[in-house]
Each structure stands twice: as structure tokens, then as C-alpha cells.
Amino acid sequence: MIPGIINFILFKTDNRLEDINLYGGSRKKKQAMKLVMWYMTKLEGAFRGAAAAYGDFTVPETYSHLKNLVSGFIGLGTKMGEGWLLTAEMMELIESGYSNIVCTQPFGCLPNHIVGKGMIKKIRELQPNSNIVPIDYDPGATAVNQENRIKLMLAVAKENQDDTWAQDTGKKAAKEWIAG
């Protein structure tokens, strides 16, 4: 599952509204941003409907749901890098059953490193079964380091899967013994 572009556009538009709410601004700009939000929300609905029409796709959650996921977790005025949206997308993935996440950090983007990597610890505290690995994709990062970090994430994913299987098998055996 890969997050779509519409939520990013909604996030950028909503950020303008958040700025006006936090710092003030013109009424005309606020009305224009509300109109863009309305239009993009309509497009979001059409996109979600198209994705739902095919059984092969996981339909992404609505922008408003993502915003609710992080409300009280990270400030909605956070806009460095992808701001709170990156955190919300990781939380959505976990909520949708995708607990193994590669969080790419592109081109030495310091704000994205701060918000992306900085929130992983909080997400892991909230979702202990999450397996998130940040990967730097910038000129200073070697391909070997990137590949090794992904291999480590996959090894942890397999270990977690084996642990879950063992727990499920143990529960089944205990039920059979009790019923026995």
C-alpha cells in the first residue's frame, strides 16, 4: 500500500487554513482555501470509489480520518517535510494491517528527517507491533546501508510473523486440550 497524492494536496491546502486559524489572514484567502478543500475532497471521494471498484487495491482512508488519527499526537500546525501527514500515513498503514513500514527520507531533507524519524518512537510506543525502518535516500547514504536496513526490517517482520504463528498455535493447542 502506497499513500496517494490527493491526501498530500489536501494537507497542503489544509495547512493554509491552519495558518490562518493560528496566525490570522485574509478572509478571501480563507474562502479560496475552503473552496479548494471542498473540491479536493470531492476528488478524494471519486478516487476512493475508483479504488474500491477493484478488489486488488486497499482503499486509503479519508483525509479527515488521517487528521483524526494524529489529533493530540502531533500538532496540526506541524508542516516541516510532510508535517503531521507522514505520521498519520504510518498510523493508517498500521491500522490497516500493514505493520512493516519503510519510511523513506529523501535527499537529505532535514525537516522530514526530524518529523519522520522523530515520530517513529512515539508510534512504536502506541503500536508495539509496528516495524518501521527509516531509510535515507540522499547522496551520503550508501546502497549497502540502505539494503541492509531493509533486510533487517524484513528479518524482524519474519520473526514477528513466526512469533504470532507460535502464539496462535499454542492457543489452538490449549483450546483443544481443554475441550479434550
Return the pLDDT at 173: 52
| CA-based nearest residue to 132, from 115, 147, 114, 152 | 152
Return the pLDDT at 144: 85
What integer is the mean pLDDT of 134-159?
A: 83
Confidence of residue 57 (pLDDT cuts 50, 70, 90): confident
What integer is the mean pLDDT of 76-84?
A: 81
106 within some domain: yes
120 within some domain: yes
The pLDDT mean for the chain works out to 83
Grid cell in block for residue 4: 496517494
Say which residue the cell 494536496 belongs to.
Answer: 9
Return the pLDDT at 160: 82
Question: Which element (helix H / strand E) includes 155?
Answer: helix 143-179
pLDDT tens for residues 168-178?
555 555 556 55
**Neighbouring residues of 173: CB distance < 8 A, sequence distance ≥ 6:** none
pLDDT tens for residues 14-39?
999 999 988 998 999 999 999 999 99
134 within some domain: yes
- Residue 37's domain comprises 6-141
Q: How many domains does the chain have?
A: 1
Grid cell in block for residue 179: 475441550
- CA separation for the pair 3, 177 (Å, rounded): 45
pTM (global) more than 0.75: yes
Confidence of residue 2 (pLDDT cuts 50, 70, 90): low
Return the pLDDT at 107: 67
